[in-house]
Structure 1
Amino acid sequence: MAQEERAHALLSASSAHRWLNCTPSAKLEEQFPDTSSEAAQEGTIAHELAELKVRHYFHPVDFGRQKFTRRVNKLKKEELWQNEMDGYTEEYLDYIKVLANGLASKPGAVIEQKFYYDAWAPGGFGTADCILIHGDTIHIIDFKYGKGVPVSAEKNPQMMLYALGAYDTYKLLYPIQNIKMTIIQPRLDSVSEWGCTLEELLEFGKYVKERAVLAIDGKGDFAPDVSTCRFCRAKAQCRARSDYNVKQAFDLGELPPLITHAEAGERLARLADVAKYQKDLQEWALAECLAGNEVPGWKAVEGRGSRDWIDMDKAFEALQASGTPEALLWEKKPLTLAQIEKMLGKKEFDTCVGSMVVKNPGKPALVKESDKRDAITNKITAAEAFKEGE
């Protein structure tokens, strides 16, 4: 599926978390262009590769080896193609293979299908990566190439909207009673699974219907929040977000000599979006100044520049001719582990040197208690203390 075909509805599944929580944002965003980052373009290529692999696996007659190879070779000519995409999409395909082979009979497979859920959200649609239907169960599998943060499948509104669309499409053909959802993020080694009954899904549909009515009319209350505002196109100029962050930054009430742990936790939560909002606002104000628009009190200036060779080869020849040894002009430096893995691709890297890699613990980070990772402390355990005293 070409990138231009991945159209977004006003009430799209991919932005469901935003318009379900902050209903006026759907109409507010319409004033801003829908831009695409380099990371998003990389994700599009990886998605297309994943689609080709799954399509070839389930439909080898209609989408045979020759057609598959020709399409993959075309993708490899894309400027943002990376060899590691092959390994990551194999992980996605492997999951689907294991799931399909574990069922009692061959499932119905729907790949990169646009589903409409306009019975609940008028005009709403989204494109599901892969859906397997077997007996009374729909399996919805979503491939995410990003490496920002792990996305949970539990009560995930995007996945549940896909499920509503799939149920509406196939309810007369299959006795659907159960929905199972999976989000695969191979670059984060993350696979999140969650399931619900049809009754629970339709209950969610009622909630969607209520919120969609408000969103279409641009009504309801704004609900600025770190996750809600993250990808909103209006995030820099949104008054509700601006007022919310100013309040968090400057209206924290009394300031006692020392704050308690409870107060620290509360204030960390309240200030979570302030730094992000400041960055978004600065980027928008800079763009306005560069466009010739006045932002009182601010202006755009040229930052510190950098120097570069007009012709490095000729410059080095001149240096050597003047007596500078060639060895002094070059620095021998090995590629990083990540650079080598990117060059070889994950699969070849693991086969060749995977056993020679050790994963060092990451630097401690403060996250919300809802994070799935285990908590760590600097407390010494009894076993460590006993060992230390030996």
Structure 2
Amino acid sequence: MTRIRLNNVSKQFAPTTNKANSEVIEAVRKLSLEIQSGEFFTFVGPSGCGKSTALNLIAGLEHASSGEILFDDNSVSQLEPKKRDVAMVFQSYALYPHLTVFDNIAFPLQLRKVAKPEQRSAVGAIASKLGLENLLERKPKELSGGQRQRVALARALIRRPRVFLMDEPLSNLDARLRLEMRAVIRRIFLEEMITTVYVTHDQEEAMVLSDRLAIMRDGEIEQCGTPLDMYENPRTQFVAEFIGNPPVNMLKADIAARLFPALISRIGDSKSSVNAAIRPNLLTAVKAPVSGKSSSDTAVAKLIEMTGPDCWVHLDYEGVIIRARVPSGADISAGEHVHLEYSLDDFIFFENASGLRVELTAVEN
């Protein structure tokens, strides 16, 4: 297992036009982090945030403009990809169409001139783990998308690389196959314990798979930590809004104080300078206030959203949409006026100007 360290790594690309005022594109800016040995680490963020560039820098497909990349305290910054001993799986399966599944998986071993009995043993073992044992004689065109991605995964794993890199590997799969492959990837990782760096734009995928993740924005790391820490303790408004499904309710403080009267003691004179946020699962929609519980002003139910065992209501309050949980057995319909039960301690606050989280304590009357 290999530990990866990035020290102040930046990557610039030349302008894409010849105009005199064209600026250098800074894809990654002063990236510093340590990925632990045997860790499943994910770069996640919107398109163009620099996550794939960061992965390519670790792989050696791109060379850093400045800074240093180390594997186990040894610099690999100037090494070519094949000398870094990494294996990659991409969004495209990159299988050889004229080879069988067996030969696609065995290809790295064939390049090393591994003896055929050893090839058969290794391919059989990895194929069994990935449910491919009955497909070894087929060609890629005879496989489903999920099967092709499992073959690509098997080919990367059979090398036993120091580092395993995955760039949007599930993007081409439909929703059901993505769920299946997420489970496969997590199970295989727990068995193999190879240091893995993963890239995705899908925050739910990142949360499910990762030991830790880095949320990237404009070439920089916005926050790095465990999935639970990201969800419960976002340091910025960007992170709070990026992580979570359904998405966080983000309200201007003056509107929040009118909808949730108890917030006035917390917001005080900050109404114009902060936003108030609360997760939908921490708001409970009810038809009438319950004695002893904090309850909101009324809002109008616009949409009831069933997602299997969970039910969510979209509410309109002064033109702002708020999402809340509908408790089991509650009979709430579109058009009804409802209240929201809440706890003051579940709200978090962010500065308008900087987007940074701020702590607001109760204001004495």
What's the TM-score once normalised by structure 2's chain length? 0.24
What's the TM-score once normalised by structure 1's chain length? 0.23
Give the strand-richer structure, 1 or 2: 2
